[in-house]
A and B are shown apart, each in its own frame.
Chain A
Amino acid sequence: MLEIRDLHAAVDGTPILKGISLTVNAGEVHAVMGPNGSGKSTLAQVLAGHPAYEITGGEILYHGENLAEMDAEVRAQQGVFLAFQYPVEIPGVSNAYFLRAAYNAKRKAKGLDEVDPMEFLDLVEEQLKLVDMDPAMLHRSVNAGFSGGEKKRNEILQMAVLTPTLAILDETDSGLDIDALRIVANGVNALKRPDNAAIVVTHYQRLLNYIVPDYVHVLAGGRIVKSGGKELALELEARGYDWLLEAVA
């Protein structure tokens, strides 16, 4: 589904990603870990198509197509979803209106009819339960004044509504209390299907107790310095990153 080959990327002329290769197949969950500033969010933003990041080398194939050539909204319409590390506030725009616009944009791209507000409310009700969110949140402005945890839950709600093919979760577990963590993880698991995949960026092994990864990758200095199975996360938890960084240096 996703094939990243020797990817280099820079922001404001500063090289951040320095040769990343990663293959993600349908049905797989990949965890990406690594120290602060190692380039995890950069990788996520590059995949989603943030204009501030420039691809300086390598390539990204998504279902065999050159992802770099697609506009951000086209990637989204084709099933790439990024749960942001820092979700953005849109004052004055209701969550319900925003969600429906996003849902309809995707439908329209597929040549399907748009759904009206009533239909949409029915549809979203199910997903609200999945993330255990108060329906009143639908009528508040997008993320405006939401607590950190509420913002993260709202990202998962959007993911549930948009049913992505490739979901990239950037530290969705940070700032969540234990219950919220379980709810978010359950949400992610419930959406898992044989034909979709997820890249889960996290600092904490405990999330991986709930969302069990098929592979764990460690990013450091803009490169993947180690890949392994789910037990790698446990090892990192016990030993930290130093031993890996030393090995690379």
Chain B
Amino acid sequence: MSATIDQLVNREYQYGFSTDIEAETLPPGLSEETVRFISAKKQEPEWLLEWRLKAYRRWLTMKEPHWPNVTYEPIDYQASSYYSAPKSIKGVGSLDEVDPKLLETYAKLGISLNEQKRMNGVAVDAVFDSVSVGTSFREELAKEGIIFCSFGEAVREHGDLVRQYLGTVIPYSDNFFAALNSAVFSDGSFCYIPKGVKCPMELSTYFRINQATTGQFERTLIVADEGSYVSYLEGCTAPKRDTNQLHAAVVEIIALDSATVKYSTVQNWYAGDENGLGGIYNFVTKRGKAMKNAKISWTQVETGSAITWKYPSVILQGDNSVGEFYSVAVASKMQQADTGTKMIHIGRNTKSNIVSKGISAMKGQNSYRGKVHILPKAEGARNYTQCDSMLVGNECGAHTFPYIEVQNNSAILEHEASTSKIGEDQIFYLKQRGLDAEQAVSMIVSGFCKEVFKELPMEFALEAQQLLGITLEGSVG
């Protein structure tokens, strides 16, 4: 993560390598058998298998949504493999016995799983295809009563907690992709912060897709008990391949009374090439429920994926709860992004804040889709939405789809929107001061995204800034 812009500039997608590792991979196809196989593989209790099967049966009755502003060839859900795990992973959670090949892979991705070398205080759960490789800093966190482990392990060790909260924010029937995920989810992270505990380090999950035909369906569940605080980071990459791969994740957050959860993502899945060949189809459901005086804040920097369909949302259930969404979404090459948020105001004096920055370059298409819903009892609710688009070049597009539903007259909503074009004059001005084209674009774009970047933890902000420079490289003359 510390590589300088210079090193990065001449590389297209630096995470495009794949790891040659012996894996147990389920042949392509999806049926009840697949669901049972995954559940058995993970030694899951009966209740979870039942839940998966209900989700699967529900999924069979659902239709893939086509309202997003994206186009793609029909997805053959039978062509994907739904489980793949390196044979060397034993799933014990500790990093002591991890296959060196995997450690090497993560090191190459800039993720050190070695606790001594780890950048200042970030605990990592590393998920490789369908399983967790291991989780760092477990013991240290356990001293505070914090549980941070892979989802599979949580089911085995903390089954009651998982059962209590799983599907309470995003029921398996929520939408097509959430149902699919609920049926076949592989691994992911689980985190529980006890009452009144401020998590002493950033927690993070790093998702890596390696196998060629495997889809990744991870599931993350974060429970912040009363008065607790946690900042959570998520990163993702995948090898460069000519075929499209499916990624349908679910992230559920529960922030109990007066808890604060900050969730930051730098999404850098392989985006496909200039002609739209390859890349990840990223269909993600992320939602949090904020109880009384609680706060949930989503920050995302979406630079990768061929298609992004993602609306991190907050249900403002409790009085005085706060929901935030800060987003930078880049659509370059032939990428299509349809992303935004939903803020559902249920409690009184609930507040939401939305800042969306969409950048479109080359032939990219970027859509902001956001919904603000003020329910009848949400007395004194407030929302502020700012939605800015920037265009680089003439062949790209920016679109906004704001939906507003107000059922309480005391609500105050503000909406601001702008569209700007990176001008030749701006670039020339910076070049005239000695900066090269890439530096110039990256500076202009960083300025444009500043309000979002400042919400990211320091290391992430730098990484995001560099990433934007690289993603947009070559999109200006």
The reply to whether A90 and B443 form a contact with Cβ atoms under 8 Å apart is: yes
Cα A158 to Cα B430 in complex, Å, equals 12
**Contacting chain B: which of A24-32, A99-107, A175-183, A239-247?**
A99-107
> Is B444 part of the binding interface, using a Cβ–Cβ cutoff of 8 Å?
yes
Chain B: minimal CB distance from A200 (Å): 17
The residue in chain B whose Cβ has the minimal distance to the Cβ of A108 is: B434
Partner of B428, one of A50, A105, A142: A50
The reply to whether B439 and A88 form a contact with Cβ atoms under 8 Å apart is: no
Chain B: minimal CB distance from A32 (Å): 18
Cα A106 to Cα B447 in complex, Å, equals 21
**A106 cross-chain contacts in B, Cβ below 8 A:** 434
Category for how many chain A residues contact B: 20 to 34
Chain A: minimal CB distance from B175 (Å): 35
Q: Given the known A-B contacts A51-B424, A76-B434, A106-B434, are A88 and B429 also in contact in the complex, defined by CB atoms under 8 Å? A: yes
Q: What 1/0 flags go to A74-113 for Cβ under 8 Å of B?
A: 0111000110100110111100001001100110010000
> Is A128 part of the binding interface, using a Cβ–Cβ cutoff of 8 Å?
no
> Is A48 part of the binding interface, using a Cβ–Cβ cutoff of 8 Å?
yes
Chain B: minimal CB distance from A122 (Å): 20
Chain A: minimal CB distance from B169 (Å): 34
Q: What 1/0 flags go to A56-85 for Cβ under 8 Å of B?
A: 000000000000000111011100011010
**B433 cross-chain contacts in A, Cβ below 8 A:** 76, 98, 101-102, 105, 158, 162
Cα A50 to Cα B426 in complex, Å, equals 11
> Is B448 part of the binding interface, using a Cβ–Cβ cutoff of 8 Å?
yes
The reply to whether B428 and A102 form a contact with Cβ atoms under 8 Å apart is: no
> Is B46 part of the binding interface, using a Cβ–Cβ cutoff of 8 Å?
no
For chains A and B in complex, what number of residue pairs have CB atoms within 8 angstroms?
78
Chain B: minimal CB distance from A73 (Å): 4
> Is B421 part of the binding interface, using a Cβ–Cβ cutoff of 8 Å?
no
The reply to whether B450 and A76 form a contact with Cβ atoms under 8 Å apart is: no
> Is B446 part of the binding interface, using a Cβ–Cβ cutoff of 8 Å?
yes
Q: Given the known A-B contacts A102-B434, A109-B434, are A92 and B449 also in contact in the complex, defined by CB atoms under 8 Å? A: yes
**A50 cross-chain contacts in B, Cβ below 8 A:** 428
Chain B: minimal CB distance from A142 (Å): 8
**A101 cross-chain contacts in B, Cβ below 8 A:** 433, 435, 439, 443
The reply to whether B446 and A93 form a contact with Cβ atoms under 8 Å apart is: yes
The reply to whether B439 and A105 form a contact with Cβ atoms under 8 Å apart is: yes
**B448 cross-chain contacts in A, Cβ below 8 A:** 91-92
Chain A: minimal CB distance from B230 (Å): 29
> Is A238 part of the binding interface, using a Cβ–Cβ cutoff of 8 Å?
no
**CB within 8 Å of A: which of B424-464?**
424-426, 428-437, 439, 443-444, 446-451
**B439 cross-chain contacts in A, Cβ below 8 A:** 101, 105
The residue in chain B whose Cβ has the minimal distance to the Cβ of A99 is: B433
Cα A51 to Cα B437 in complex, Å, equals 12
The residue in chain B whose Cβ has the minimal distance to the Cβ of A168 is: B432
**B434 cross-chain contacts in A, Cβ below 8 A:** 73, 76-77, 102, 105-106, 109, 162
The reply to whether A72 and B428 form a contact with Cβ atoms under 8 Å apart is: yes
The residue in chain B whose Cβ has the minimal distance to the Cβ of A143 is: B429
Cα A106 to Cα B434 in complex, Å, equals 6
The reply to whether A73 and B431 form a contact with Cβ atoms under 8 Å apart is: yes
The reply to whether A84 and B429 form a contact with Cβ atoms under 8 Å apart is: yes
> Is A52 part of the binding interface, using a Cβ–Cβ cutoff of 8 Å?
yes
**A162 cross-chain contacts in B, Cβ below 8 A:** 433-434
Cα A48 to Cα B433 in complex, Å, equals 10
Cα A72 to Cα B433 in complex, Å, equals 9
**B429 cross-chain contacts in A, Cβ below 8 A:** 84, 87-88, 90
Cα A72 to Cα B437 in complex, Å, equals 10
Q: Given the known A-B contacts A51-B428, A52-B424, are A92 and B447 also in contact in the complex, defined by CB atoms under 8 Å? A: yes
**B451 cross-chain contacts in A, Cβ below 8 A:** 92
> Is A141 part of the binding interface, using a Cβ–Cβ cutoff of 8 Å?
yes
The reply to whether A73 and B447 form a contact with Cβ atoms under 8 Å apart is: no
Cα A81 to Cα B429 in complex, Å, equals 11
Cα A77 to Cα B428 in complex, Å, equals 14
Q: Given the known A-B contacts A51-B424, A88-B425, are A76 and B447 also in contact in the complex, defined by CB atoms under 8 Å? A: no
Chain A: minimal CB distance from B45 (Å): 51
Cα A51 to Cα B444 in complex, Å, equals 18
Cα A76 to Cα B437 in complex, Å, equals 13
Cα A87 to Cα B437 in complex, Å, equals 18
Chain A: minimal CB distance from B388 (Å): 10
Q: Given the known A-B contacts A52-B424, A90-B429, A92-B450, are A73 and B436 also in contact in the complex, defined by CB atoms under 8 Å? A: yes
B435, B436, B437, B439: most-surrounded residue (chain A CB, <10 A):
B435
**B447 cross-chain contacts in A, Cβ below 8 A:** 90-93, 141-142
Cα A58 to Cα B237 in complex, Å, equals 52
**A81 cross-chain contacts in B, Cβ below 8 A:** 432
Chain B: minimal CB distance from A85 (Å): 12
Cα A32 to Cα B477 in complex, Å, equals 32
**A71 cross-chain contacts in B, Cβ below 8 A:** 431, 436
The residue in chain A whose Cβ has the minimal distance to the Cβ of B425 is: A88
Cα A109 to Cα B443 in complex, Å, equals 19
The reply to whether A90 and B430 form a contact with Cβ atoms under 8 Å apart is: yes
Cα A105 to Cα B446 in complex, Å, equals 18
Q: Given the known A-B contacts A71-B431, A88-B429, A158-B433, are A93 and B444 also in contact in the complex, defined by CB atoms under 8 Å? A: yes
A49, A141, A142: most-surrounded residue (chain B CB, <10 A):
A142
Q: Given the known A-B contacts A73-B431, A93-B447, A101-B443, are A88 and B426 also in contact in the complex, defined by CB atoms under 8 Å? A: yes
Cα A136 to Cα B439 in complex, Å, equals 25
Cα A88 to Cα B422 in complex, Å, equals 12
Cα A88 to Cα B433 in complex, Å, equals 12
Cα A48 to Cα B430 in complex, Å, equals 12
Q: What 1/0 flags go to B332-351 for Cβ under 8 Å of A?
A: 00000000000000000000
**CB within 8 Å of B: which of A123-149?**
141-142
Cα A82 to Cα B432 in complex, Å, equals 7
The residue in chain A whose Cβ has the minimal distance to the Cβ of B453 is: A92
**B431 cross-chain contacts in A, Cβ below 8 A:** 49, 71-73, 76
The reply to whether A73 and B425 form a contact with Cβ atoms under 8 Å apart is: no
Cα A99 to Cα B449 in complex, Å, equals 19
Cα A52 to Cα B424 in complex, Å, equals 9
Q: 16 A–B contact pairs at CB < 8 A?
A: A71-B431, A71-B436, A73-B431, A73-B435, A76-B432, A76-B433, A77-B434, A87-B429, A88-B429, A90-B443, A98-B443, A101-B439, A102-B430, A105-B434, A162-B433, A162-B434
Chain B positions near chain A (C-beta within 8 angstroms): 423-426, 428-437, 439, 443-444, 446-451, 477
- Ranked 7 nearest A-B pairs via Cβ: A92-B447, A105-B434, A93-B447, A102-B433, A88-B429, A92-B450, A76-B434
